[in-house]
Structure 1
């Protein structure tokens, strides 16, 4: 583990954390999509899976711009969020409740990423790394949009169904 001695080191560490978190999410999303019942939720997960691949590519470009390697510690935070999400999903027996659980699991992950991208973007701006800040901000906006879409989906339909699930 490298010492962090300045804001640029902290930025690099944050970006490595995000990179690892995106990679973990890339493996987690297909499992959630497979369990989802609502077609619109499956489509949202598929769309975000494609975005996640773009996020990874964008972060790889940031590493190149910073002239540093992408390796870093595994994101224990994302690992735990995914585990908690899977546990929640596994305990949801009704399809309508299951979809609400999947949305909750995804939003745990999205909120972690939004915090990380927001922080990294601030650091990049402070360091005068405008192009990197713009790339990070673009991804932050995408993370916010999927979070909003999930919230809208939950409020418009999925949570209502989960209130009175059909017991099979």
Structure 2
């Protein structure tokens, strides 16, 4: 991996800004805090899953380059970020989704 010369051209940053801008716009339409929480968790998971993809690719590439040092470092980071993603999923399932579903139903279906 030390052999690689990587340059950033800002594309990832622009994509991240676009994701965040769309999410902020959607949060502005949410009158209920639990619905905003759903959008926020979803946005964070988009960023996390992008990083999971990146780390997985780099880890595989490090293995192909026979660089066990970098493969080990990247694999550890990959496992850490997957754990974070799982924690957000559990939080959403345990707390946020139930509240937001109830509030979505009350808001959009007139309390049915």
TM-score normalised per structure 2: 0.78
Partner of 2:101: 163
Give the aligned partner of residue 81 of structure 2.
Answer: 143
Q: 1:88 to 1:145 in 2, by over 3 A?
A: farther
Matches within 5 A, 1:24-35: none
Match runs of 1:56-67 below 5 Å: 66=2
Q: Where does residue 72 of structure 2 map in the other structure? A: 134
CA pair 94-145 structure 1, distance change in 2 beyond 3 A = same
Instruction: Write out per-residue CA displacement over residues 7-44 of structure 1, whole angstroms, 9 at most, x where no aligned residue.
Output: x6xxxxxxxxxxxxxxxxxxxxxxxxxxxxxxxxxxxx
Report the alpha carbon displacement of residue 78 of structure 1 after superposing the two structures with TM. Answer: 2.9
CA change 1:143–1:85 in 2 (3 A) is: farther
Larger radius of gyration: 2
Q: What's the C-alpha RMSD, in Å, of the aligned pairs?
A: 2.3
Question: Which residue number corresponds to residue 9 of structure 2?
Answer: 73
Residue 109 of structure 1: aligned partner = 47
The TM-score with structure 1 as length reference comes to 0.54
Point out where structure 1 has 5 or more consecutive residues left out of the alignment. Answer: 1-7, 9-65
Instruction: Write the distance in 2 (CA, Å) between the matches of 1:120 and 1:87.
Output: 33
Give the Å deviation of 1:91: 2.8
Matched positions, count: 103
Contact 1:85–1:106 (CA under 8 A) maintained in structure 2: no
